[in-house]
Amino acid sequence: MIRIPGGHVIARPDVRTVQIAGLLAVAGCSSAGSLGHGVSIDKLAAGVRLESEFRDESFEGGATASTKESVFRENVEFDFDGNVYHPRLLTFGGVLDLGLEQRRLEQRGATSIVRSDDDNNRYDLRAAFLKDHPYSARLSAQRSQVRVRQSFFPTSDAVVVRNGGTVMAKEWYVPSQLEVASYDFEGKSGDLRSESRQSVNLTGSRSTDRFDLNYTWFAQAVDSDLAGGRYDDFLALAGGTWRFGSELSNSLTVDGQQRRQTGDTRNENANLSGRMQLELADHLDHRSGVTLGRSEFRGLGETATDRVDAFSELEHRLYDSLTSVVRADYLSQSIGSGEIERVGGGGQLGYRKNLPFGKLRADFRLGRSRQEESGRLGANVTVSDESHVVVAGDPVILDNANVDEANVLVTDGSGSVVYTAPADYLVERIGVRTRLVIPVGSRIQSGQTILVTYSHASLFDRAFETDSRSAALELMLGESLSFEGTWSDLAQELVAGITDATLDEATEVGVGMRAKLWDQNFAIEYLDRDSRLTPYSRGRVMWYTWWPISQRISVNASASGHETLFKDEQLRERGVSGVLNLVWKADDRLTAELRSELRRSDTRTDDGWGTFVHGLVRYRFRKTTIDLSVMNSMERWDNSSDRDVLRAFFTVSRRF
């Protein structure tokens, strides 16, 4: 039994664990040495660490029942690290951490107490062989215990193990490396899910003055409770760049990719792209490119997407100060039974100038595009509780076309299901309308109100045009003062088709200033947005300073505040925060730090404030370090929940 101060006891550790830890501690007494034949030991060390943690957390108010939780954790760890190397043959290094941990979790409100004893063992081992040989290799092995904590739920533990090996062929025409790896995630207390991945990855690249080549071949097998289920994953990618011309300023790049996933997750996509850059004259360049792609998703349903994306742009530079760019874009994409086609273009004008008193930067951009959408696009839309009054002998006309016949539910006014299967009624399509025919002798009477729930494919048949303009100006006066201003205007106009699209017109104007004076940093920002959808204005002020009071004491402080006005609702949101960090260094052995933070927030839905205080005292003597850390945070809200958290850590560690 191992007894920690405070009366808590850790269960008896495994005998082999103690033996290994003891051997490592003894070996750690020698920090360097030689094993003969050119093999040496370097930076060999061992250590022991004792740690205690206490956390008390309460959560009350709002819609959630009040809960209080306390956790006490004790941990003892033995660690070892070092390197064994040979100048030409190998380098071996690693970290071995053997831990024994006890945790006690008490939840009041749920009235549960959980105790657990864990072997928190960790290692990270790495080896490299024949590093100067044309064929060299690396091996690695890692084990760690991760802990994910969610408030008021038991801590979720998992053991993660990674193993891998890599062989490098340095003198192939395309230097390459082959990596074989495995990954295992095994959930423990609170989360028993698991995940396993085995992968093979072959990559290579070669670069010269005239060309670049690269390729990747990757395959993995996945068995996961976390995401995707069981599936195989395959990826192949290859590409190259050829540079030509008098000064190799022209280039042509071609690359392609294919990926396929089979099993519980079934996806497939492929694309081929090409890009070209030509120097047409001094200070005049042309760039263009085209990408062809196809994706298929076979999950709950099957969806295929085909895509063609192309661009062409011309850039002109004048005296390295004035740059102009003209660009044209084209996009064609089919999604399921729908299509999107977009044609657009734009221009950019940029100016950079070094002035006697600073630097000036100015940019202006404009763009215009037209997008046409047609057919069925996107996922199905569910219509809940569409109300109809039954008239004897007349069918019920649903408001949407392309109704999914297998997903129609009819209920009466009380919510009772009247029909549960498509066989109970008849769905007909007359032109673009969908009607529900009530059978003769049904339980639904004339004049009765029914509610119909169904799904239909979202229909798009529209075209809209988008115009955008923006400008930015920045003036920097030395290294300590800068001013900037921005302006943008965006307009979307529906020019054909249905009118259920949400279009917008927005204009934004912003100004800002940043300054650094006498080790004080200031920033002021203001933004005004005039929009049909979300008009608002926002201001923000920030301040930061670092103040060395003496050689032993220093202070960091910062403060910020903001206010936002939502013009359509005439509502305001405000927030302020301040941080003060005090560091006292008595000598090389004793250090103390105090950090405090205060926040205040007034939003449209709630008002509240919060505080955070963290104190740390660290004392070092010889090879022993003692840490005492205490943290406390509080949150108070008018309409939602309050939260208090207290955490304390006490740690003693020694290196040998």
For the residues 76-94, what does the mean pLDDT come to? 77
pLDDT, position 343:
96
pLDDT, position 368:
95
Contact 477, 358 (CB under 8 A): yes
The secondary structure of residue 191, as a DSSP letter, is: -
Q: Which residues pair with 139 in a beta bridge?
A: 127, 165
If you write DSSP's letter for every residue of 123-176 in order, what string do you get?
A: EEEEEEE-TTSSEEEEEEEEEEEEEE--TTSPPEEEEEEEEEEEEEETTSSS-E
Question: In the structure, what pLDDT confidence band is assigned to residue 47 with cuts at 50, 70 and 90?
Answer: confident
pLDDT, the chain, mean: 79
Question: In the structure, what pLDDT confidence band is assigned to residue 2 with cuts at 50, 70 and 90?
Answer: very low
Structure tokens at 264: 């519980």
pLDDT, position 68:
77
For residue 30, the tally of other CB atoms under 10 A from its CB is 12
For residue 132, the tally of other CB atoms under 10 A from its CB is 9
How do the domains of the chain map onto residue ranges? 380-460
| 423 three-class SS | helix
380 vs 8, more confident: 380
Name the range with the highest mean pLDDT among 366-375, 384-393, 416-425, 426-435. Answer: 366-375
pLDDT, position 471:
97
Q: How far apart are the first and last CA of the chain?
A: 24
Task: Average the pLDDT over each of 9-18, 182-191, 318-327, 328-337 and give the range with the smallest value.
Answer: 9-18
Instruction: State the Cα–Cα distance between residues 177 and 205, nearest whole angstrom.
Output: 9
For the residues 560-586, what does the mean pLDDT come to? 87
100 vs 305, more confident: 305
- Alpha carbon 234 to chain centroid distance? 24
The 10s digit of each residue's pLDDT in 259-309 is 888 887 678 889 999 999 998 888 899 999 999 998 887 654 566 788 999
pLDDT at 39 over 90: no
pLDDT at 421 over 50: no
For the residues 399-422, what does the mean pLDDT come to? 64
Question: In the structure, what pLDDT confidence band is assigned to residue 17 with cuts at 50, 70 and 90?
Answer: very low
pLDDT at 81 over 90: no
Name the range with the highest mean pLDDT among 62-76, 170-184, 329-343. Answer: 170-184
pLDDT at 456 over 80: no
Instruction: State the Cα–Cα distance between residues 592 and 587, nearest whole angstrom.
Output: 11
pLDDT, position 205:
95
Q: Which residues pair with 161 in a beta bridge?
A: 143, 184
Task: Average the pLDDT over each of 423-432, 485-494, 595-604 and give the range with the smallest value.
Answer: 423-432
Residue 491 CA: distances (Å) to CA of 187, 224, 349, 365 = 51, 46, 21, 14
pLDDT at 65 over 60: no
pLDDT at 419 over 70: no
If you write DSSP's letter for every residue of 5-48 in order, what string do you get?
A: TTTEEEPPPPHHHHHHHHHHHHHTT--EEEEETTEEEEEEEEEE
Compute φ and ψ for 24, nearest 5 degrees: -65, -40
> What share of the chain in percent tops pLDDT 90?
35
pLDDT, position 458:
64
418 vs 430, more confident: 418
pLDDT at 163 over 80: yes
For the residues 398-410, what does the mean pLDDT come to? 68
Residue 247 CA: distances (Å) to CA of 160, 201, 251, 515 = 52, 36, 11, 44
Percent of residues in the chain assigned helix, strand, coil, to nearest 5: 0, 75, 25
162 vs 389, more confident: 162
pLDDT, position 515:
94
Residue 37 CA: distances (Å) to CA of 60, 126, 137, 443 = 68, 21, 21, 96
Task: Average the pLDDT over each of 96-110, 117-131, 195-209, 499-513 and give the range with the smallest value.
Answer: 96-110
Instruction: State the Cα–Cα distance between residues 106 and 69, nearest whole angstrom.
Output: 6
For the residues 560-569, what does the mean pLDDT come to? 84
Upper half-sphere CA count for residue 454 (Cβ side, 13 Å): 26
Name the range with the highest mean pLDDT among 59-68, 260-269, 611-620. Answer: 611-620
Residue type, position 454, single letter: Y
pLDDT, position 132:
79
pTM value > 0.85: no
The 10s digit of each residue's pLDDT in 193-217 is 788 999 999 999 999 999 999 999 9
